[in-house]
Chains A and B, each alone.
Chain A
Amino acid sequence: MRSFAVLVLLIAALSTPQAYAGGAKSPPDLSGVWTTYPSRAKGPPPDPKLVAPQPTPLQLNAKYAAAYEAKRAAQRESDKRGEPLANASTECVPNGMPQMMFPIYPIEILQTHGQVTIIAEAMSQVRRVFLDQPQTKIEETPPTYFGHSVGRWEGNTLVVDTVGVKEEVLGYRDIPHSDQMRIKERFHLVSPDVLHDEVTIEDPVVLEKPWTFTFAYKRSPGYQMLEYVCDNNREYVDDKGVTRMRLQNR
């Protein structure tokens, strides 16, 4: 009789429509391979409740805004001429944070004791989030591509704090940043198989106010991550900063 009551309660719980709270397991298991959501390949339209929200307005400080806009305009003009300007990726340098989280290629999340590891298939980039550790002071954190990340679970949300990203690493949409940048991320499931990484960039030197955007991912069960070593780069940068393709005679 008791087990029957439990069963009835269980069925009631499963059939009650409600906002997705991350499933029964807390913290949820994010381990596995994830690809961009929605997929840009042909398919059924995405669920509007699950797509990433629009970014907040980007407000660069005046000093940086002019240079940023000028660079974007130069890129557009250069593309129109068929002479795209080079950037870090043209030279096979890792994207770094936060751009490595942009899922052009799949990413893989591994949850192990005390650590969450994120691998981007593109360029085989790896970042490590150390759980329940204090963050280092910015001025004491050596500059790297992926920065120093610490995280903790707040309920079913993985909250991550990252400092120490090299200034040469361009941000999302190529925005510049200073050595004072701090990246705050909130990873949370919006359905059993759709994950959002809400990213907030704080940079008192470059930004008027923090900028928030979200990456959305869908589980890709069964996919085996491939290696990506950039060892045959035929693109090169000419003396005008334009990307060219090296031809071979045979």
Chain B
Amino acid sequence: MSFWVGGVASLGLAALMAPQAASAHHSFAMFDHVNRITLAGTVTRFEWTNPHVYIELDVPDAKGGSKHYSIECASVNVLMRGGWKFTDVKKGDKVSLLVNPLKDGTAGGMLETATFADGRTLGDSNPPGGVFER
């Protein structure tokens, strides 16, 4: 579940300790992998950076207002290996994100899959046929 966990030498250990594929940065334990949510909204900012890519999103609420979410994606490296381009998301895009929300209830989470403004859907990591880890 991170760089420092498990190892190729012991896949059993890695499987035991990793709720998801391994990350180069930190544990995923702060995110809720069971109670996933879908957030549809407008991108206010897209940060193509390491250790993580971020999508800042305004999601309309029932009262005509909106709530802002910060969504953490994998690293630039992993997303590129999964077929992402830095031009796939832009400010103002309407996107739909399947997210593992933060367990502490604050308005953030970790991306699972993204549906872009042009209708394409890409996973955060391990795309079908992909060969690399998150």
A165 to chain B, nearest CB (A): 15
Chain B interface, number of residues (Cβ within 8 angstroms): 53
Beta-carbon contact of A84 and B29 below 8 Å: yes
Chain B residues near A234: list those with CB within 8 A: 52, 54, 70, 72
Beta-carbon contact of B106 and A247 below 8 Å: yes
Beta-carbon contact of A248 and B10 below 8 Å: no
Beta-carbon contact of A247 and B108 below 8 Å: yes
| Contact code string B77-117 (vs A, CB < 8 Å = 1, else 0) | 10010000000000000000000001110111000000000
A56 to chain B, nearest CB (A): 10
The B contact surface, by secondary structure, is loop
Q: Known contacts A35-B132, A247-B70: does B47 contact A232 (CB below 8 Å)?
A: yes
Beta-carbon contact of B77 and A82 below 8 Å: no
Give the nearest-CB partner of A90 in chain B. Answer: B26
Contact of A102 among B7, B29, B72, B76 (CB under 8 A): B7
Chain B residues near A103: list those with CB within 8 A: 8
**A42 in the interface, Cβ–Cβ < 8 Å?**
yes
| Contact code string A1-45 (vs B, CB < 8 Å = 1, else 0) | 000000000000000000000000000000000011111111100
B60 to chain A, nearest CB (A): 15
| Interface residues of A, Cβ cutoff 8 Å to B | 35-43, 52-55, 78-80, 82-90, 92, 95, 99, 102-106, 121-123, 170, 172-174, 213-216, 220, 226, 228-235, 243-250
| Interface residues of B, Cβ cutoff 8 Å to A | 2-11, 13-14, 21-32, 44-45, 47, 49-52, 54, 56, 68, 70, 72, 75-77, 80, 102-104, 106-108, 126, 128-133
